[in-house]
Each structure stands twice: as C-alpha cells, then as structure tokens.
Structure 1
Amino acid sequence: MSRLKGVSERDPRAGFKAERRDCGASVPQGLLKAARKSGQLNLSGRNLSEVPQCVWRINMDIPEEANQNLSFSATERWWEQTDLTKLIISNNKLQSLTDDLRLLPALAVLDIHDNQLTSLPSAIRELENLQKLNVSHNKLKILPEEITNLRNLKGLYLQHNELTCIPKGFEQLFNLEDLDLSNNHLTTVPASFSSLSSLVRLNLSSNQLKSLPAEISGMKRLKHLDCNSNLLETIPPELAAMESLELLYLRRNKLRFLPEFPSCKLLKELHVGENQIETLGAEHLKHLNSILVLDLRDNKLKSVPDEITLLQSLERLDLSNNDISSLPYSLGKLHLKFLALEGNPMRTIRRDIINKGTQEVLKYLRSKIKEDEANQRDSVTETAMTLPSESRVNMHAIITLKILDYSDKQTTLIPDEVFDAVKSNIITSINFSKNLLCEIPKRNNFLSSLPEEMESLIRLQTINLSFNRLKILPEVLYRIPTLETILISNNQVGSVDPEKLKKMENLITLDLQNNDLLQIPPELGNCVNLRTLLLDGNPFRVPRAAILMKGTAAILEYLRDRIPT
C-alpha cells in the first residue's frame, strides 16, 4: 500500500472507502480502470462542466470492480495500481477547478486547454512533480502566486488568455524550458525574467509590449524568441549578445531600424517584416554568417547593399512590398531557393522575369554581372567620338518600316549622316533611345521636356522617350492625334491626364513602366482603346501585382470599378 503514502496522511480512510458513483456516462468505468494501469487519463472533449470526484480520487477510493470480484488475478490487483501522472481534460466547459487537485500529487502533465477557466486554484502549488502545464485558450486574467512553487515545471503554456501581468517570483521556475505567453494583454516583461536561465523557447507574440528589458540577454540558453505583433519601436542592443539565439521573430511591430547582431553567430532565421525599417546596411549583415531565412517584407527599404553577398548561407529572402527600384547584380551570386520581390517599383528587372520565379531572377542577375564585365573590356576599344557611316544605318527599316533607328550608341549628338540617309523617305517612328542626348532630335537619357514644335508632326505614330528625365507626360503629345504608341518607361513621370489620353483615339500602347507614379487615376480605365498598358515598376500600392499580371483589360476594368460615382 506504499502507493497511498502521502495522500493517506491527509485522509486516514484512503484506500478503504467505496468508490463514489458520481461519474456517470461522462467517465466510463473502463476508462478509469485503464488509467489505473497506465497512469494516464484522457477526458478531452466530453462536454464536462466540472471534473467528477471519481477523477480526483482515482488513486484513493476502492474501484468499482473490487466490489464485483473477490478473487483477483494478477492483472486485477487494484491495490497495485499506478498513480495518475498525466491528466488531459481539455476541450470541455470547465469554469473552475477545485482544491481537490491536490489529491493527484504525482501528476507530471496537466492539460486543461480550451476551457472557460478564469482562475487556477491555490492548491496547484502542491503538484510539485508537475513538468508540463497547458492552460492555453482559457479566460485567465491573473495567475496565482502559488504557480511559482512548481519548481520542476519545464513547459508552461498560457497563450490565448487575458493576462495583464506576470506574478512576482515567476523567476523561481528556473527549470522552465518552454514558455508561451502569446495572445494576452501584457504591457511589460519583468526584468527578473533573466533568471529563467534554462529557457530555450519564449513566445511573447500578440501582446502590447512597447519594449523588452535589457536583462533578457541573461537567458543564456534561449534559442527561439517570438515577439511578433507587439508595439516594439526599438530592440535593446543587449539582445544582440544572445549567443544561443537561432530564431528571432519581430514581425508586425513599429521598428524603424534593424539592430546589429555581433554575437548571434547561430542565428538562422530573422523575421522583421511589416515594420517601418528604411535602411539595410552592411553593418546589419556582416555578422549574420549562419542566416538561412531573412524576412524584410512590408517595410520601407529603398535599396539592398552589395554586402548582401556576405550571407552565403541564405536560402530564403523576402523583400516584397518595399520601395526597392533596383537590386545589386551581386545578389545573383547567392544560392537562394526563394526570393520574393513583388510589390516593389523594380526598374532594373522586367516584370516577366520576376514572374518566372527565383531561379530566373538569379540567372538574369548573373548575366548582368557578365555583361558588365564584357562592357568594361569593350569600352577601351570604342569611343563616343566615332561617327557612323551611312552603312551603319538600317536602310531597310527606313524604306520599308518607316523607322529611323539610331539607338544605344552612347553618343551626345546624332550625326548629319543619319539624317542624310533618310532623304525623301517618310518616317513614322524614330528611336534615339539609350544615348546621351540633351535636346531634340538628340534625345534620350537627359531630356526633361519636348518642344511645342513637335505638334507639327502630323503623321507621327510611335514615339520612344524611354530612359530620360521627364517628370510628366509632355503636353505636346496629347495634341498629336496620330500617335498609336507612347513608350516613356524609365523616366520620372509622376502623373498623367486620363481625360486627355481618352481623346487620343488612336493610342493603343502606353508604356509607363519604371516611373514615379504614386497613384493611378481610376479614370484611366475609360481609355478603352488601349490594348497595352504597362505600369510595372512604379511605387503605387494599387492595383496590386496580382491585377497587373492579368493584363491590360483586367487593369482597365479594375480602374473603372473605382471611379467615384
């Protein structure tokens, strides 16, 4: 009868009382009998509004089968039963627990999640063998100080309650390894938390924390820290000294700066998405030697430093929904498995390449590295002063296609020989893009306006003004009714006039990629003659990338639906 030692001191009749028959159908006798042998009882999801007495007294009262069978076999010796060490009463309707909890002193696991508990009994202090306590998804507003007596506790799960503070003496739970306080109403974390030296995992997400104590660095074994969805504006620099930290979650806060991590040599995942971070510098990256995942989505980053190549172990990089217009080609040297760029006004990579996925983007960046190296070699063999001969002008394009093309020559002027080649031929399209021109007809790269005299070009059908410095769609273009194609990508255009565009009945292609459009006027949706409308690479937030990918018709319909009535 040694199994009754301890509880018999509280109840001298223990072991000789007939089992009370108040369990009803909610706790079958067969389940109790099995629990006496295994030491485990699972009463989850039985619609219980209170814990039956037969559960609390399972190791004290004479079982029902003892009254029905006076000759016990070896498997039915109820006096040799195992003390209950694991009790699961989750997913019920319990509003409280009684002090009878003390009658189960051998409990190592108590799981009462998903009930309606508003408090815990003070008798919980007597469960000195308890190693795991799950009281998540209840309605606890406070924790009893007696909980600090559970010195053997290794796992404490209190998420999804209504806690506003932590009781004094909490640091006495020095064996605690896993602590979940997420989804409560905490506004502060006690500095005494630093005494939880055995803690490996700490979840503080979805609270109302405005700061973290510097003392948190005292958790020398902490590997996983989750502070998502709080009100954090800064991170104590001491956090960067946590040498054991492997996973750090800081998403959905109010961080404006990314901390440096000089001592976090083991950090594998850093999640700082949905903040207000504006700068990513070499000082933020140079210590992240082991980083595998870097989440920077939904911030205000404008650029990515060349030092991103320091992250040689990086596998996943999320840069979506920032203000990044270009990427360093050196990014192509990383061996990324996942790269997210959606929602950025990207100017150096075409949308169709981004849509093909990570490996195509990396392949493109690597090709640009090789192209730059080749250009550097070739630059010594060609000068901008070299004048073309008539043979370098595409006469077939002039005569048959009515196109004068003298693009990508890096010249500051268009030589007379080019215009002499045209002679009496009618030209409807001129392409002088990717040069160093400062005025008409020497245009591209530095143009900030167009002369009003262009209005006299009554047969002009296509105009390419890409790669200049135009800040608006030139007014003169609205007055050229023959225009079918306007290519004005890679400028600084900040606005267009949808009413004037609507009157350009022949206009079917409008390329506004990689400009500075902060918003797209809904009235642009009325330009129903447009067959190609390109808007990628602008800093507007709507329409989102998913709409742009559907094509011009979907974009125009989306805009029309948002015209104010």
Structure 2
Amino acid sequence: MSVLDVRKNRLRALPLELCSMQLSLLDLTDNELPSLPPQLGLMTSLRKLPLDGNPLKSIRREVLAGPTPRLLSWLRDKIPDDMGSMGAQRGDQVHTGNVFGGDSSTLAADAAEKMKLGGSQRQELSFPGSGLTHIPPEVWEAGEAGLQSLDVTGNKLSSIDPQDLSRCRELVTLQAGRNALQVWPLPLGASSLPSLVRLCVSFNPIRSAPPGAFASCAATLRVLDLSGVPAAGCLPSGCLSSLRQLEELLMSQASISSFPMEIIDNEPLPALRVLKLSGNQMTDLPQGVTALVRLEELDVSNNDLTNVPPHIGLMTNLRSLQLDGNRLRSIRRPVLERGTKALLEYLRDRIPA
C-alpha cells in the first residue's frame, strides 16, 4: 500500500506503527490532531502529507505551508537521541510478529528467516528504532532470497559490511539513517547493487567516502539522502556526477561550505528534481544551478548567502524555492513571505537587459 486516506475522521493521535509504512501519500485532512509524532519524519518515501483542518499548534505555519520534505526534516529533528526501549520493543513486535518482545537482534533474525522461507508476502524488512547494534546474518541471507527493502533507521549500528550488502542484488531501498555509522557502507564493485534506487544514510558520522562511492548503484540510484553526513561536503571527484538517474539529492545540515559544482559542471544531472542544501555554510549560489532544467524544489535556507542569481527566476519548473535564514541584501522579507511564484517573478524582473 502506497496511499492511505483518512480524511474527515476524528483522529487525535497517530500510531507509531504507521511511521514504518512505505507510503507516498498520507492524507490526514480534517481530523483533530494536535501534534504529529516526530518519527513520522522517518517516512522518506512520503511525497504528500495534507494536514489542513487539524489544530496543529506545535508546528510553525511556514513549516506546514512548505513542501513535504521540509516538514519531514523538521519532524526528524525532533526525534530524541535515545528513541526509548519501549518504542524499540514496540517496533520489534510489529515487524516480527512477536507480541512478547525480546532481544532486538533475535527478533530481526526471526523476521528475516520468515521472509526467506516465504512467510512474508512483501520482500521487505523494517526495524526502525529497534536498538540493533548489528545486522544479524539472517538478514543478509534474506538479501540473497530477494530482499527489496531494508529499513534499519534509528538504531545503534556502527557499521554495515559492504560485502554482506553486496549479497542483496535485488535491494531497491536502503534506509540506514540516524545510526552510528563511521565507514562508508556501500560496496565498491561496479553494479554490485544493480537494483538500488533509494539510499538514505543521513545523520551518521561518516567523515569520508572512497572514490567510486556510488559505483555499485550509479546506473539506478534516484534518491540519495546524505543530510547530516560530514562526508557530503568532501566527496571524491566524480561521485555525484556519475549519478545520471538521480532525481532527489538531500544534503542538508552537512557542514557544506560551497555549492556542489559537480552536479552542474560539464554535464549537469539531467533528472534532478529535488535539491536540499539547507542548514549549511554556503556563501554563494552559482548561476549555473539554472542548468538543472527539471528542478522542482530548491532549498538553500539557513545558509550564509548574501545574493541570489536573478536568472533563477527563469526556472519554469521550480515550484518551491526556500531562501529563509540567509543574509540576503537584495530581497526584502515581504518578498520572501509571498511564496515561490512571487519570488521567481521578483528575480526575473532583476535580470539585466
């Protein structure tokens, strides 16, 4: 299931189990929700989250009115560092079918074994916030049996063995954000992960990536989340430019000091639709960003920008341009508050004749 429509009910709370679903649309319009669980931000597959008609007082209006990825990022930032043993236990029970709880690794192994033996109709394993310190061997055996989605978000993993990961030839989605990974997890062999489309390693203390970091999935990767990863600002040459199918690049809060020119120089990424660079230390936004002709969302909020190239106003596909939190001298606050359409018009009017 990718769509869940619960409009016009009287929901006052959302179950945490909902946060582990791979939804693209969650419609919560016209309910009685006073708040949202921060774990909802872990649903990186979510494209639309309508919330009109709810008494949400804990979320700023501009966040609610902005694009869904911005709201999800805001929610993720509210997740406590220790996600709680009760929450972890609850997650284990949901995904393994063990209603009595138990050791997280044992339960993960049990779920993987069931999938491998055909006890699960869906080829996915999901253990967010389960307290895992390592991925049991049974998960990698499930990888050889056709595992398509693995979610280990919000655990205590210090490493993922690239050799084990390369056993997952049919893996489409890997969610490994908010762990303690220090070493790059992907194998380096060309096309060794030939099905991988979505990769999230956000908010892990990975400080460097090897040359050819994405060689295993360069031909297929469409969504890449490196938010909060120190290595995002110092990727070896050729890593990003090799991702010719990439549609979404998320690199917020990654201590990036300059725009990643590799995505626009020579051969700009032809499929890129979403670019998130908020919360960094960039001082310049190059005019070359206009070469990303399919770009729909550009978020450079909360950087150190003082100017914005007026030619960005010519980007006709752009439906969300986030500039808040910069030291902009040429754009008045009222213009920013009028939204993307007015902002693009303002920029177009300032293109030199």
Which has the larger Rg? 1
SS of 1:239 mapped into structure 2: coil
- Partner Cα distance (1:127, 1:362) in 2: 50
Structure 1 unaligned runs (5+)? 1-90, 98-108, 134-152, 374-565
Which residue pairs with 2:180 in the alignment? 208
- Which residues in structure 2 correspond to 1:478-493 (within 5 Å)? none
Whether 1:268 aligns to 2:256 is no
Verify the 8 A CA contact 1:255 1:277 in the aligned structure 2. Answer: no
Alpha-carbon deviation of 1:330? 1.5
Whether 1:189 aligns to 2:160 is yes
Structure 2 unaligned runs (5+)? 1-86
Whether 1:180 aligns to 2:151 is yes
- Partner Cα distance (1:337, 1:209) in 2: 34
Alpha-carbon deviation of 1:199? 0.1
Relative to structure 1, the CA distance from residue 126 to residue 198 in structure 2 (aligned partners, 3 Å threshold; closer, same or farther) is closer
Which residue pairs with 1:304 in the alignment? 285
Relative to structure 1, the CA distance from residue 245 to residue 356 in structure 2 (aligned partners, 3 Å threshold; closer, same or farther) is same
The structure 1 residue matched to 2:195, chosen from 197, 209, 221, is: 221
Relative to structure 1, the CA distance from residue 254 to residue 114 in structure 2 (aligned partners, 3 Å threshold; closer, same or farther) is farther
Cα-to-partner distance string for 1:391-423 (whole Å, 9 max, x where unaligned) = xxxxxxxxxxxxxxxxxxxxxxxxxxxxxxxxx
SS of 1:365 mapped into structure 2: helix
Alpha-carbon deviation of 1:123? 7.8
- Partner Cα distance (1:282, 1:126) in 2: 46
Which residue pairs with 1:244 in the alignment? 220
- Which residues in structure 2 correspond to 1:117-516 (within 5 Å)? 117-118=102-103, 120=106, 125=113, 129-132=117-120, 154-168=123-137, 170-173=139-142, 174=144, 175-192=146-163, 193-215=165-187, 218-241=192-215, 242-255=218-231, 257=233, 259=235, 260-286=239-265, 287-335=268-316, 336-369=318-351, 372-373=352-353
- Partner Cα distance (2:290, 2:179) in 1: 35
Verify the 8 A CA contact 2:186 2:214 in the aligned structure 1. Answer: no
The structure whose RCO (Cα within 8 Å, separation 6+) is larger is 2
Cα-to-partner distance string for 1:52-79 (whole Å, 9 max, x where unaligned) = xxxxxxxxxxxxxxxxxxxxxxxxxxxx
Verify the 8 A CA contact 1:273 1:298 in the aligned structure 2. Answer: yes
Which residue identity lines up with residue 157 of structure 1 in the other structure?
S
Which residue identity lines up with residue 364 of structure 1 in the other structure?
Y
- Partner Cα distance (2:261, 2:102) in 1: 50
Verify the 8 A CA contact 2:311 2:348 in the aligned structure 1. Answer: yes
Verify the 8 A CA contact 1:240 1:262 in the aligned structure 2. Answer: no
- Partner Cα distance (1:126, 1:284) in 2: 42
- Partner Cα distance (1:110, 1:161) in 2: 10
Which residue identity lines up with residue 117 of structure 2 in the other structure?
N
Alpha-carbon deviation of 1:211? 2.4
Query: Runs ≥4 in structure 1, deviation > 6 angstroms?
Result: 121-124
Relative to structure 1, the CA distance from residue 351 to residue 117 in structure 2 (aligned partners, 3 Å threshold; closer, same or farther) is same
Relative to structure 1, the CA distance from residue 127 to residue 251 in structure 2 (aligned partners, 3 Å threshold; closer, same or farther) is closer
Relative to structure 1, the CA distance from residue 328 to residue 240 in structure 2 (aligned partners, 3 Å threshold; closer, same or farther) is farther
Verify the 8 A CA contact 1:317 1:339 in the aligned structure 2. Answer: yes
- Partner Cα distance (1:123, 1:227) in 2: 25
Q: CA RMSD in A?
A: 3.1
- Partner Cα distance (1:265, 1:157) in 2: 29
**Number of residues of Structure 1 aligned to a counterpart in Structure 2:** 250
Relative to structure 1, the CA distance from residue 211 to residue 128 in structure 2 (aligned partners, 3 Å threshold; closer, same or farther) is closer
SS of 1:330 mapped into structure 2: helix
Verify the 8 A CA contact 1:232 1:253 in the aligned structure 2. Answer: yes
Verify the 8 A CA contact 1:185 1:207 in the aligned structure 2. Answer: yes
Relative to structure 1, the CA distance from residue 114 to residue 230 in structure 2 (aligned partners, 3 Å threshold; closer, same or farther) is farther
Relative to structure 1, the CA distance from residue 330 to residue 196 in structure 2 (aligned partners, 3 Å threshold; closer, same or farther) is same
Cα-to-partner distance string for 1:220-260 (whole Å, 9 max, x where unaligned) = 11001111221122334423432111111111222461644
Relative to structure 1, the CA distance from residue 366 to residue 168 in structure 2 (aligned partners, 3 Å threshold; closer, same or farther) is same
Which residue pairs with 2:46 in the alignment? none
Alpha-carbon deviation of 1:313? 0.3
Alpha-carbon deviation of 1:114? 7.5
Verify the 8 A CA contact 1:131 1:155 in the aligned structure 2. Answer: no
Relative to structure 1, the CA distance from residue 315 to residue 352 in structure 2 (aligned partners, 3 Å threshold; closer, same or farther) is same
Which residue pairs with 2:33 in the alignment? none
Alpha-carbon deviation of 1:360? 1.5
Which residue identity lines up with residue 182 of structure 1 in the other structure?
T
- Partner Cα distance (2:303, 2:175) in 1: 27
Relative to structure 1, the CA distance from residue 214 to residue 181 in structure 2 (aligned partners, 3 Å threshold; closer, same or farther) is closer
- Partner Cα distance (1:321, 1:303) in 2: 13
What's the TM-score once normalised by structure 2's chain length? Answer: 0.63
Which residue pairs with 1:31 in the alignment? none
SS of 2:262 mapped into structure 1: helix
- Partner Cα distance (1:210, 1:132) in 2: 32
- Partner Cα distance (1:264, 1:279) in 2: 20
Verify the 8 A CA contact 1:131 1:154 in the aligned structure 2. Answer: no
Relative to structure 1, the CA distance from residue 115 to residue 296 in structure 2 (aligned partners, 3 Å threshold; closer, same or farther) is farther
Alpha-carbon deviation of 1:283? 2.2
SS of 1:162 mapped into structure 2: coil
What's the TM-score once normalised by structure 1's chain length? Answer: 0.41
- Aligned-pair identity in percent equals 28
Which residue identity lines up with residue 297 of structure 1 in the other structure?
S
- Partner Cα distance (2:326, 2:222) in 1: 29
- Partner Cα distance (2:256, 2:231) in 1: 6
- Partner Cα distance (1:126, 1:328) in 2: 55
SS of 1:323 mapped into structure 2: coil
